[in-house]
Amino acid sequence: MTDPTSSTQPQDPTQDLESTLTPDQRQKEALAAFTATLHSVGTNLEAPLRERATIINTNALSLERQEAELAGARRCAGEAE
């Protein structure tokens, strides 16, 4: 007589897949998963840093323009005296 619970419980498909993989295939799969995770984390960290770099660059250009305007205003003030 067969066990009635064995036919009603679904089998885990990953368990069958893992049992057929060689150690080399498992290592390659693990490396691919790890690399994908690192890529995802890197992308999530990179976006705010790129935004900050853009803001810093924009601010630097604005500061340079203001410094040039201020230097010009000082020259004009010095000539007026």
| Contacts of 54-59 spanning 24+ positions with Cβ under 8 A | none
Hey, where are the domains in the chain?
A: 36-81
Q: Do the beta carbons of residue 11 and residue 19 sit within 8 Å?
A: no
Q: What is the dihedral angle through the alpha carbons of 63, 64, 69, 70, rounded to the nearest 10 degrees?
A: 70
What are the phi and psi torsion angles at 10 (to 5°)?
Answer: -70, 145
Per residue in 47-75, pLDDT (tens digit) is 999 999 999 999 999 999 999 999 999 88
> Which pair of structure tokens corresponds to residue 10?
């679904």
Q: Is the pLDDT of residue 23 over 70?
A: yes
What pLDDT does 11 receive? 66
For the residues 7-35, what does the mean pLDDT come to?
A: 81
What is the model's pTM? 0.46
In single-letter form, the type of residue at position 68 comes to: A
What pLDDT does 76 receive? 87
